[in-house]
Amino acid sequence: MYSKANSHVLARFLDYLKIEKGLAPLTVSAYTTDIQQFAEFLAKRKRTLLKARRNDVKDFIQQLFANSVDGRSVGRKLSALRHFYRYLLLDKLIEGDPTLNIASPKQWKVLPKSLARDEVETMLSGSRPTSARKLDEAIEMRNRAMLEVFYAGALRVSEIVGIKLEDLKLELGYILVRGKGDKERIVPLGKSAQRALAEYIRHARGALAGKHNSPLLFLGRGGRRLTRQRVWQMVSTASLTAGRHASPHTLRHSCATHMVENGADLRTVQTILGHADISTTQIYTHVALDRLKNVYQKHHPRARTRA
């Protein structure tokens, strides 16, 4: 729904584009769609186009990236907003341009999605199999162990399906992981992950392996290698208990975000995640800061006090 203020100011801008700028109808239509989309975004914040702030524009762009809108489309929408607010500024309808100094889409890094800590706990507690069949119980133990390892070590899907039994040093509390470029790194495992792995190896792995002898740690039925698609499906199904859709990468991002929130230094997080460049790891400081600001705004008694 658009307010009268939005409709009026947008109509004036569109007339300006058609009459004074002589833009083609298709171009004007694209500008209309992009600005209306931003107006809908602002309406959820109880704000009109004339009252938009720089943070609104940044959050709008971030949401577009989070919804997998490609960079070219984001760039076009930002360009439409820049032209719109430049017009409003010149027409003295606003005092400041909220698009000023907003970086181009090529310079943006998409903030990864992560679960809250209670959502992770709910997801890891999981459901139990409805069947009493030994194979179903074995699959449940395997899935629980994999979820724990995903969150404990911030592993990628390709890394977890390739872990060998000999890579696990359970008594020492770590696992050897082969990441991108076949680079090896040592990833620590917490007590919860260690317990889940011990239970899986003791009671489930043999049932899944059957008569087959596989060097891999995590196995499918009959000792087969797990596919990436099967692992994604497993994580997606498990996430339903938390009430939010999650992927293996969500658990990886959640691990990194929660470590930073708890005071872990970036070099340690970089090592655990296997990032070649620490600038990639620095994005988690932004995630943690955004969450900190949201909690502050929600709970501090004077956070919303106006002068």
* Domains of the chain from N-terminus onward: 4-106 (1.10.150.130), 117-297 (1.10.443.10)
Instruction: Give the separation between CA 100 and CA 95, rounded to whole angstroms.
Output: 12
Instruction: Give the separation between CA 157 and CA 289, rounded to whole angstroms.
Output: 27
> Which residues contact residue 193 at a Cβ distance below 8 angstroms, ignoring those fewer than 6 apart?
145, 148, 149, 151, 152, 153
What DSSP string describes 233-274?
A: HHHHHHHGGGTS---HHHHHHHHHHHHHHTT--HHHHHHHHT
The neighbour count for residue 299, using CB atoms within 10 Å, is 8
**Two structure tokens written together for 120:** 């992770």
Q: At 175, give phi and psi (nearest 5°).
A: -135, 145
- Relative to beta strand 168-169, strand 184-188 is unpaired
Looking at residue 169, the DSSP 8-state letter turns out to be E
Q: Are 86 and 204 in contact (CB under 8 A)?
A: no
- For position 307, what pLDDT does the model report? 45
Instruction: Give the separation between CA 109 and CA 37, rounded to whole angstroms.
Output: 22
- For position 27, what pLDDT does the model report? 84
**Two structure tokens written together for 149:** 């390892």
Torsional sign, CA 14, 19, 23, 29: positive
Name the nearest CA neighbour of 248 among 70, 129, 114: 114
164 three-class SS: strand
Helices and strands in the chain, H and E counts: 14, 3
Instruction: Give the separation between CA 259 and CA 246, rounded to whole angstroms.
Output: 18
Residues with catalytic function: 156, 180, 249, 252, 275, 284
Name the nearest CA neighbour of 51 among 105, 102, 9: 9
- For position 138, what pLDDT does the model report? 94
DSSP H or E stretch at residue 131: none
pLDDT, mean of each 10-residue run, the chain (307 residues): 73 86 84 93 92 92 81 87 92 91 66 82 73 84 95 92 94 90 88 95 94 93 93 92 86 89 86 82 70 70 61
Name the nearest CA neighbour of 189 among 202, 170, 164, 163: 170
